[in-house]
Amino acid sequence: MKLWSGRFRKETDALVNDFNSSIHFDARLYREDIEGSMAHAAMLGEQGIISKEDAEQILAGLQEILADIEQGKIEFSADNEDIHMNIETILTQRIGAAGKRLHTARSRNDQVAVDFRLYLKRQIGEIRGELLHFQQVLLKQAKQHTETVMPGYTHLQRAQPITFAHHLLAYANMLCRDVTRLEDCMARMNECPLGSGALAGTTYPIDRFATAQELGFAAPMNNSLDGVSDRDYAIEFLSDMSILMMHLSRLAEETILWCSWEFKFIELDDAYSTGSSIMPQKKNPDVAELVRGKTGRVYGALMGLLTTMKSLPLAYNKDMQEDKEPVFDTIDTVKMCIPVFAGMIETMKVRPENMRAAANRGFINATDCADYLTKKGMPFRDAYTTVGNLVYYCQEHGKTLEELSLEELRSISDLFGEDVYEALRMETCAMSRASFGGPAKAETERQIDVIERFIEERMGKA
């Protein structure tokens, strides 16, 4: 019999029963549901809304149920619709009358809202930990390549010389923002909806500050209608995860390019690659491709929940039961993607010689050549045009800038001297970009320091 069967005279249609039920996915919230119920019951006892004895029986009963769920001893039922009613029903079966008092001054609407926030807070902590670890992996690789010259690209065309460390640090910096975005999300999420009731609070003398504190929230939510109506915290989380996946998808794409024969800047470890069922020579970057691909489902989750919430009148609507699956799927996806990606980056072999060879072709020191003339007194715009002409000349003659003779260079500008060859060396070009944030060794080391401190400040701190 349904908990709410009083006002009904017919059984729920079997199809409706299954359709309506969310237990097959919200069973995940069992721990948070029990925590929320325990905080609520303890508060009811403290406030004299139920007796201390009833409160104690409820707490003990819930503890036992938690242990039994964790040992796989409990089977939930779709007849009890969701995790909230499943646990309440089991509690009452076990402890009798006291169990029936648990739902005093509470609704499933504030119950699900508090469960979901508690669950997300925990998951954010774990994802943040994975991200910090991933950053450490990027730093470890970067430290070994502060002098590994490679072409930096725009439009996927070789542009200017940078180092592999500089490139990896770009991602490490993006991840810093992914981490702080999660922290911001957590801070905003950290208010407790419990005690909002169905929508309009309650006539009982509940203590929302006590339950908020007991559950580790900074404060109770300020408005009961808002408390049960909004899912902005879940949407914000999904949007943070979409941005994170966007970042990962870019590094995934670059990894795929880099390990192609066209680039061969890196080689993935055998443990992080897969073979082909027909082509014996193949070694494919499936991990990177899957991360790139899974970005789509995380974006989909964000769009899905935004659309579910669009135009919903206040307060709770059953539509909102659709909030959980996209969030759960995103959590599972991201928690797989980050560590497997980190492992792939940690074990990849870098091929500095191929990066260096790529840097040799594509005139990526052309800006440096123009800067050379500018530093000798020519206005930059004129130097820019002069070097453009030189590049044209080089292409006609199948040469690089540094392969031109001093006579050839001087025929274009007599500002060129012997020292131009040193100025055009790729190593010089990369290492003398010492402006703040640039690829020069000391600068990349400074960047590594900053991110190391960022990680240290957070490691071990939730």
- Which residues are catalytically annotated? 155, 276
Report if residue 295 touches ligand ARG, rule: CB under 6 A. Answer: no
CB 170 within 8 A of CB 439: no
Which of 6-14, 106-114, 368-376, 418-426 is the region at the interface with ligand ARG (rule: CB under 6 A)? 106-114
In the complex, least distance from residue 22 CB atom to ligand ARG, rounded to whole angstroms: 4
Report if residue 108 touches ligand ARG, rule: CB under 6 A. Answer: yes
In the complex, least distance from residue 450 CB atom to ligand ARG, rounded to whole angstroms: 43
In the complex, least distance from residue 317 CB atom to ligand ARG, rounded to whole angstroms: 9
Report if residue 106 touches ligand ARG, rule: CB under 6 A. Answer: no
Which of 33-41, 291-299, 314-322, 432-440 is the region at the interface with ligand ARG (rule: CB under 6 A)? 314-322
Report if residue 320 touches ligand ARG, rule: CB under 6 A. Answer: yes
Report if residue 196 touches ligand ARG, rule: CB under 6 A. Answer: no
In the complex, least distance from residue 198 CB atom to ligand ARG, rounded to whole angstroms: 7
Report if residue 112 touches ligand ARG, rule: CB under 6 A. Answer: yes
In the complex, least distance from residue 68 CB atom to ligand ARG, rounded to whole angstroms: 22
- Helix H, strand E, coil C: the string for the chain is CCCCHHHCCCCCCHHHHHHHCCHHHHHHHHHHHHHHHHHHHHHHHHCCCCCHHHHHHHHHHHHHHHHHHHCCCCCCCHHHCCHHHHHHHHHHHHHHHHHHHCCCCCCHHHHHHHHHHHHHHHHHHHHHHHHHHHHHHHHHHHHCCCCCEEEEEECCEEEEEEEHHHHHHHHHHHHHHHHHHHHHHHHHHCEECCCCCCCCCCCCCCCHHHHHHHCCCCEECCCHHHHHHCCHHHHHHHHHHHHHHHHHHHHHHHHHHHCCCCCCCEECCHHHCECCCCCCCCCECHHHHHHHHHHHHHHHHHHHHHHHHCCCCCCCCHHHHHHHHHHHHHHHHHHHHHHHHHHHHHHCEECHHHHHHHHHCCCCCHHHHHHHHHHCCCCHHHHHHHHHHHHHHHHHHCCCHHHCCHHHHHCCCCCCCCCHHHHHCHHHHHHCCCCCCCCCHHHHHHHHHHHHHHHHHHCCCC
Which of 241-249, 316-324, 347-355, 428-436 is the region at the interface with ligand ARG (rule: CB under 6 A)? 316-324
- Closest to ligand ARG by CB, 16 vs 218, is 16
What is the size of the binding site for ligand ARG (CB under 6 A)?
Answer: 10
Task: State which of residues 33, 35, 82, 240 lies at the interface with ligand ARG (CB under 6 A).
Answer: 82
Report if residue 321 touches ligand ARG, rule: CB under 6 A. Answer: yes
Report if residue 114 touches ligand ARG, rule: CB under 6 A. Answer: no
In the complex, least distance from residue 460 CB atom to ligand ARG, rounded to whole angstroms: 34
- Closest to ligand ARG by CB, 205 vs 313, is 313
**Residues within window 21-50 making contact with ligand ARG, judged by CB under 6 A:** 22, 26
- Closest to ligand ARG by CB, 16 vs 187, is 16
Which of 143-151, 313-321, 364-372, 439-447 is the region at the interface with ligand ARG (rule: CB under 6 A)? 313-321
Residues lying near ligand ARG in the complex (CB under 6 A) = 22, 26, 82, 108-109, 112, 316, 318, 320-321
